[in-house]
Each structure stands twice: as structure tokens, then as C-alpha cells.
Structure 1
Amino acid sequence: MTIKIALIGTLPPPVGGTSISLGHLNRSLEGRDDVQVKVVNTGGIRGKGLHGIRQFVQVVWKIFQAACDVDVVTLHIGLHALPLIGPFVLLGCRLFRKPLLIRRFGGNDHRELKGFSFRVGQWVIRHADLYLVQTQALKNAAKEANLERVEWFPTSRPMSNQPLLSDGARNNCRRFVFLSHIRPTKGISEIIIAAERLDDDVTVNVYGPLYDGLTEDIFNNCNRVRYCGVADPDSVPGILKSHDALLLPTYYGGEGYPGVILEAFNAGIPVITTLWKAIPEIVDETCGILVQPRDAEKLYQAMSQIVKNELFYQSLCRGVLERRTFFDLEKWTDKFVFYCNKISKFGSSEKDIS
């Protein structure tokens, strides 16, 4: 039996963790025989004035059309967009008597919304047939808020089955890479401070768009850190495979499970990241190094450790290969389709989905 699923959310461009994750899920679903997908792209509306308003109205109309045509409506969204688009999605579901699945991106508790936005956001979540959250911490928080139909649904990525270490290629670490939005809270200053203390044969390549007033000038006096521009999404796997370790010393407030960490796992490289929000749920001492946020000295020590200790570095690479299978896209696509079938069959009367 084929189930018809509406995917409502932002697709690239712009490039970001949310849009990339939804794009992966869409492609995975389109490759299945048991699913028909109808996509409503909600991206590119903000900051466009009257044109943005017209575009928003068109998106709402497409949402209603999709709700009429499918068996299950699924909304894939970040926290702050939820009160804006969520009520219209819920209205479409109620008009056409279709179940609603909400998949929340990011690591922010919905109770961080304020005032009217909080009331609207919580109302939408409470009326969804299933609420999927990205981290275990968010699942626990949702349970504390007396939300009943909540499940953990982590970020996932297509994972290779090839044992990347079989040829002994990853013997040492000299080439670090940072691949994310470039903003102060992503730890870019700490990277520069730490990297410039390392030996001359160590390099750090930085990819990503610049935000929060930062310009390429921050790299002007760097000897080991090089800005490489914005990476095309299709080039990300190749970029990561050409490096030895990922740097992500983030303390960004909206951090959930950073997709680039899973991309690094797929490339077979370990990560140096931070004890920040839910990141320790996916990175531990077997596949990476966790340091305190905002601590350039600890970051330097971690980078030095995997540069100088080849056996330790190789053990992290082996740990990555063991860890990555859990976050394989196909596994979590199967789970997503299972959830859609479940709520399509039972609707809002189904209280416990496992």
C-alpha cells in the first residue's frame, strides 16, 4: 500500500542544517515504492516586504492543496518559524481531516518562545498527532511540559558502507576543516587563536557564509587558517574526506545535532567540538574530543593531541565508523514512514507510538 505524505518545510537554498536535512529526507522518500511525496517549500519568504506577503499567501494555499491530496501532513520546522506557519498547517489538517506530524529542528525548548508566540507554538504542538524532536533533551523537556505524543528523531545523513580505514589512509591528522555558518558563536575566533599555535605543517580550512558582521578580514593575519568560501552542498562529502578532522567549537544558542558532525562521520573523520547543549548525545570519547565552549586553550590542547598522538587519532577514526551506522538516513527514513503510517491509521486517538 502506498501512503501519500506532504513534506512542508524549507529546502535549499538557503543552505543550512534544516534545509539540508529535509532535502535528504525528500530524496530518500522519493526513492521508495511505498511512498508518494508532495513537497511545499516554505523557504525564501522572510525579508521580502509585499512580495514576501504574496509569497506567504501562495505557500498557505499550497499547504491547503497538499492537505487535501495526501494521507499525512508533515511539518519540518525550526522553533521560531513554528508560530508563523504552524497554525495554517494545523488549519489545513483540520479542514481536510488529515493527521499532522511535526518534526522540530534545533536544540531549543519550545518554552523558550515568549508571549503570544509561545501560546501559539504550544497550541500547535499540542494538537499535532505526533511531535518529533531532534534531541533526547528536548524529548525529556516535552514530557515535562505534559506533551504526550512525543518521540526522538535525530538528524541523519546518507552513510557509506565502505570501511574507509581498510587502506590505512587515515594514519595521522594534519588537515582540519571547519564547515558551518561563520559567526562568533560557532567558535571561529577560538579556532584562529588555537590553530595559529600549531606546527607549520598543520592547516585549517574554513568553509561557510559569514554572519553577524564578520568579514574575510578576520583571516588576514592567519598563517594556518584559510578561508575557502561557501561550499556547495554537493561538494561537502568530498571536502570532508579530503581532511583529517572536523572542528566545531560551537556555543550557538540554537544548536541541536549539527548535521556537519554526521557528515564528518560519513567521511570517516573524528570531530573536535564542545560540551554544548545536546552535542554530547552524539559525540563521545570514542569518536571525538569534547572541550568547554569559549576555551581556545582547551581547543588547542585537543588539536595538539590528535596531531601528535597518531594511535589516539586512529582509534577515534575507528570509533567514527562504529558510530555512524546509527545515524544512517535509510534507517531513519524507515522510522519516519512507520510513524506516518501509524498516525494515518489511528489518527489522534493513538497516544503511545514506539
Structure 2
Amino acid sequence: MQLAQSHPRAQASTTTRAKRLLFVGPKPPPIGGSPLTVQAMLDELAFYPSVEIRLINTSPALDVRKKMTGFNFEKVKRSVLILPRFIYELPRCDVALVFANDLFAITLAPILLFFAKLFRKPFYLKPVGAGLDLFINAQKKILRGYLMFALRSMDGILTQTQLLKDDLQKMGLVNAQYLPGCRPLAPVAETPAKHSEEFRLIYLGHITRRKGILYLLEALGILSQTCPKKITCDFFGPVHDELRDEFNAGLQSQPNARYCGVAEAGTGPQLIANYDALVLPTYFDTEGHPGVLIEAMHAGVPVIGTQARTFPELIAHGVNGLLVPLQDSASLANAIETLAANPDLHKKMAEANHQKGREFRADAVVEKMLQIVFPDVKLQKK
């Protein structure tokens, strides 16, 4: 695990002391939503010469394909390494910003907050995903009260979704503010004209059960029997052990499905631009703003997703994509066929999705973040 370091391009270039931000979060590798968001923010922060980043990289040194839930030695080891580095760096910084999943929020974050209060440094939490409210409510009364006290004592909780912000504020956490996920607006090269006789789908992300992979394979099987147009789907991402055998069996039974390996980090928009639609049939109840949906926006490609809790914040059904019920392969197949059979609808959704992506550009999100954590300073980009 790589610990505290100055981001290479984020050093001050003026005689005035830079504002120092202690940034605690996971950088790639492994590739995933949170690490890519952290990298996008760090890259954008490098354009602010008056902001110096001190990074504590919390990325796990492990095989992401293995199930990593609950307590384990790797998480204990990371916590033991993070805490002393945080205590060492904090007095030299002006503000602490901590990315945390639910388990981190209930275990290590309150301890980090204690030292931030001790050194009189503002402390901001950036929850990963959109399930912190569900996690809090699932705890026993004493633990729930402890967690609520810690969260209420923070200078800000920067939620990835509007839904989580609203739910936390209803619980009395008025310090919750909305700061969406983001990706850099990378240039997308002109792609060859898509073949009208074939409708090409892409799935880009971790290949796990709750991402709805098996339902997508079922939908492809339905389409191979009922749709006059050829529908294909390329899968990119690490295959988790929990699903490996079933996924491989599904690929063998569906000749219109193909596994293409793990995409290189940072190439999402360029890769997605080669396809007609991105499909994400997840049924995770804690999904936030999946970075791959933002990458599809930047690529100008419509999305076929599910009615997950937060997806309507990103995808307006019938406007910039289509949303189907969770765990429903027949509805998923119908949505794919609808988009494949209507070129005018596809074009309209592609344009609308590209426009929607402006809300999630890394430059806009980082500018807003700096306004929150350094409210009394006007920071200029170079």
C-alpha cells in the first residue's frame, strides 16, 4: 500500500504557502469506481498550483477478484498503516478529506476524526457508493448512536448522490452536501460508422453476480431467438471468483457474447465510443454514481440500466437511456431490442447522454470540492 506522498504535479509554484489537503483514498490499481474517481480528482487538482496534496493511498494490495467482505487481516494491516501516517501528516495540512466505504466509516473514520479535532483541522468524509444511510440504520442502537455522533461532528459529508444527501439530512445530518462522482473529459476519437446490421453492446466493470451479469447473458439468449437484428455484447473487467464458472458457462452457451479481458485504466470513454450502447444491469442496492455511466456520457453513448436506487439521477428513462426492473432478463432484452430497432431514438439518447455528462466532469466537480473544503480562499487553476 502506497502511503503519504505529494502528488507529482500538485506542488506550489508561488511564494505564498500552498493550501495543503490531506487526501485519504484509494488510487489504482486495482481498477474500480472509487480508485478511478480518486485518480481523476488528483489529476485535476494538479492544475491548482496553490494546492498541495498529501496523499495516503488506501488501495488494497490484493486480487480484486476475490471476495473481500467483513473483517480480514488485509484490512487490519491497512488500518494499522493508515493511522500513524494520518497522525504524522495532519499537523502539516490544512484540511483532511477521507474517502471511506461503510466499514471504514464505522471503524477507522471516527478515530481519524478524533485526531482532526485534536489538531483543530477540518475533516470531510467522502462516502463510497450510496448506502451509508442503509448501513447506519442496520446497526444496533448503541453502535448507530456512536456512528451518528461521529458523522454529526464532521465538517462535511460529501455524498456521491442526491439521494444519500437527502436521506442523511432527514436523519439529522445537516452537514451532508452533494458532490457527485466524476471522470475527466477525455477526447474521444472519431469511430468508424457502426454497422446497421449489428447492434453492439458493451459491459465494462467488475464481473460479479450482483452486477446482473447472468441476467444479461439470459437477455442475450432471448434476443438470439427473437430479435431479427444481430445483437452482440463484449464484456470487459476482472472476473470475480464467485461467478467465474457460471460466467464461463454462459459465454459458451451464448455465441453473441464475448469476454475481452480487463480494459486499461483511463480508456473507458474511448472504448465505449466503439459501441452502440453500454449495458449495466446491476441490482446492488448501494450503487452510487457508477463511473462507467459517466464515461458513457462523455463518449456520447446511451445506457441501458436498471431501476437501481440512484440510477434515475443519471439516466432519465427514454431521454438519455432506458431503465428496466431489477433482475428481469425479459425486460432487459426488450429494452435492448427497442433501442436496436429505433435509430432515431438511439441518436436522440446519445446526444442527450453527452449533454448530461457536463455535470460530472472532473474539472467542475473538483472546483466545487475546493469551494467546500477551502471556503474562505479563491483558488485559481493554472
Q: What is the distance in 1 between the residues matched to 2:324 and 2:79? A: 42
Aligned partners of 1:103, 1:59: CA distance in 2, in Å? 16
Amino acid at match of 2:265: P
Partner residue of 2:89? 66
For each residue in 1:135-166, what CA deviation from the matched residue of structure 2 results, as whole angstroms up to 9, or x when unmatched?
A: 1111111111111211111111112477x89x
Residue of structure 1 in register with 2:212 after alignment: 187
Over the aligned positions, Cα root-mean-square deviation in angstroms equals 2.5
Give the conservation status (yes or no) of the 8 Å contact 1:6–1:39: yes
Query: Is 1:133 matched up with 2:155?
Result: no
| 1:325 pairs with 2:348 | no
Checking the alignment, whether the CA contact within 8 Å between 1:175 and 1:243 is kept in structure 2 is yes
2:233 is the counterpart of 1:204: yes
Pick one of 287, 301, 305 that aligns with 1:273: 305
Bigger Cα displacement from structure 2, 49-58 vs 38-47: 49-58
CA distance in 2, matches of 1:340, 1:61: 23
1:22-61 paired onto structure 2 within 5 Å = 22-44=38-60, 53-61=76-84
Instruction: Write the deviation string for residues 55-83 of structure 1: whole angstroms up to 9, x where unpaired.
Output: 43221111112211110011111222211
- Partner amino acid, structure 2, of 1:297: A
Deviation at 1:235, TM superposition (A): 3.2
Match of 2:174 in 1: 148
Contact 1:183–1:210 (CA under 8 A) maintained in structure 2: yes
Point out the more displaced range, 219-228 or 40-49.
40-49
Q: Are 2:160 and 1:106 aligned?
A: no
Deviation at 1:240, TM superposition (A): 1.0
Alpha-carbon separation, structure 2, partners of 1:333 and 1:140 = 21
Equivalent-residue separation in structure 1 for 2:340 and 2:24 (angstroms): 44
Matching residue within 67, 72, 92 for 2:115: 92
Q: Provide the C-alpha distance between the structure 2 equivalents of 1:283 and 1:259, rounded to a whole number of angstroms.
A: 13
- 1:349: which partner in 2? none
Q: Say if 2:209 and 2:242, in contact at 8 Å, map to a contact too.
A: no
Q: Contact (CA 8 Å) 1:74, 1:100: kept in 2 or not?
A: yes
One of 241, 246, 250 as aligned partner of 2:282 = 250
Which residue of the partner structure matches residue 36 of structure 2?
20
The residue matched to 2:87 in structure 1 has which SS?
helix
2:219 maps to amino acid = A
Opposite residue 326 of structure 2, the aligned amino acid is: P
Select the residue among 150, 154, 158 that pairs with 2:184: 158
The CA deviation at 1:123 is 2.7
SS of 1:213's partner is: helix
In 1: Cα distance, 2:263 partner to 2:122 partner: 37
> Is 1:18–1:77's contact at 8 Å kept on the other side of the alignment?
no
Matched with 2:23 is 7
Shift of 1:26: 1.2
Query: Residues of 2 paired with 1:238 and 1:135: CA distance?
Result: 25
Helix, strand or coil at the partner of 1:81: helix
Aligned CA distance change for structure 1 residues 210 and 54 (closer, same or farther; 3 Å)? closer
TM-score normalised by the chain length of structure 1: 0.89
Closer, same or farther in 2 for the Cα pair 1:261/1:103, shift >3 Å? same
Q: Deviations over 1:279-310 (max 9, x none)?
A: 10111122101111111111111111111111
* Cα 1:251–1:14 shift into 2, 3 Å: same
Q: Distance in 2 between matches of 1:168 and 1:218?
A: 30
Count of matched residue positions in the alignment of Structure 1 and Structure 2: 343
- Structure 2: gaps of 5 or more residues: 1-15, 63-67
How many angstroms apart in 1 are the aligned matches of 2:30 and 2:250?
A: 24
Residue 14 (structure 1) shift: 2.3
Q: Which amino acid aligns with 2:20?
A: K
Letter in 2 for 1:43: S
CA offsets, 1:96-126, max 9 Å, x none?
A: 1100011112111142441365344323211
* Structure 2 counterpart of 1:121, from 131, 147, 151: 147
The answer to whether residue 306 in structure 2 is matched with residue 306 in structure 1 is no
Deviation track 1:38-68 (CA, whole Å, cap 9, x = no partner) reads: 0001222787966764543221111112211
Segment drifting more, 186-195 vs 110-119: 110-119
Residue 216 of structure 2: SS of its match in structure 1? Answer: helix
Partners in 2 of 1:149 and 1:287 — Cα distance? 32
